[in-house]
Amino acid sequence: MALIYLSIGTNLGNKSQNLNDAIAELSFKVGNLLKVSGFYETEPWGFESKHRFLNAVVLLDTRLLPLQLLAETQQIERNLGRTSKTEDIYSDRLIDIDILLYDNLIVDLPQLKIPHPLMTERDFVIRPLLQIAPDLVHPVTGAGFSDLKF
C-alpha cells in the first residue's frame, strides 16, 4: 500500500457538495481514506474569476500504481462533471483532483509529475496539507513543508 496525498478543489456549483462527492468517490475507487483537511476558501490561482474556490487535501492509502491513480482521478473528475482539463490554461471547474505525493516516490513523466511541481507555490495546497501532515517532508528537497512561508 502507498500513502498518497491529493488536493481537491472546486469553484462552481455547490462547492461543499462537490468536495464531499469527490472524497466519497476517492474513498470508494482509490483506497482507504485516512485523513481529510478542513475546507479552505481561496481566491482563484493562475487566472481571473468571480468564483472563489473551496479546497482540501486528503490522505489515502492505495494499491493503485501512479499511472493507475492518475487514470482513476481523471475518471472521477469526469464522473463528477468535469468536461475538460488543460495543463497550461486554468479556468473555473466543478472539480479538480491533483496528485501531490505518492509515498516518497519521484515520477517525471510527460503526463504525470510527482511531487506535484507547483504544490509549494500554492497556499491552498500547503495550508490544508499541513493541517493533516504537519511534519511532512518534501521528497525531493528534504525540506519540511512547515518551513514554507505564505
CATH number at residue 89: 3.30.70.560
Q: Can 135 be counted among the known catalytic residues? A: no
Catalytic, 88? Answer no
Q: Which pTM was predicted?
A: 0.93
Question: 92, 98, 103, 123: which one is catalytic?
Answer: 98
For the cut 90, the answer to whether the pLDDT of residue 35 exceeds it is yes
The catalytically annotated residue of 21, 96, 122, 127 is 96
Predicted local distance difference test score (pLDDT) of residue 46: 75
Task: Spell 61-91 as b/e; 16+ CB within 10 A means b.
Answer: ebebebeebbebbeebbeebebeeeeeeeee
pLDDT at 1 over 70: yes
Q: Give 57's strand partners.
A: 7
Say if residue 7's pLDDT is above 70: yes
Backbone angles phi, psi at 48, to 5 degrees: -95, 135
Distance from C-alpha of 44 to C-alpha of 52, rounded to nearest angstrom: 6
pLDDT band at 148; cut points 50, 70, 90: confident
| Whether residue 106 has pLDDT greater than 90 | yes
Domains identified in the chain, total number = 1
Confidence class for position 36, pLDDT limits 50, 70, 90: very high
63 labelled catalytic: no
Q: Which of 21, 88, 92, 93 is catalytic?
A: 93
Find the domain containing 8 and state its range: 2-147
Q: What is the pLDDT of residues 91-100, one digit of tens each?
A: 778 999 999 9
Determine whether 122 is an active site residue: no
Q: Annotated catalytic residue: which of 82, 92, 108, 123? A: 82
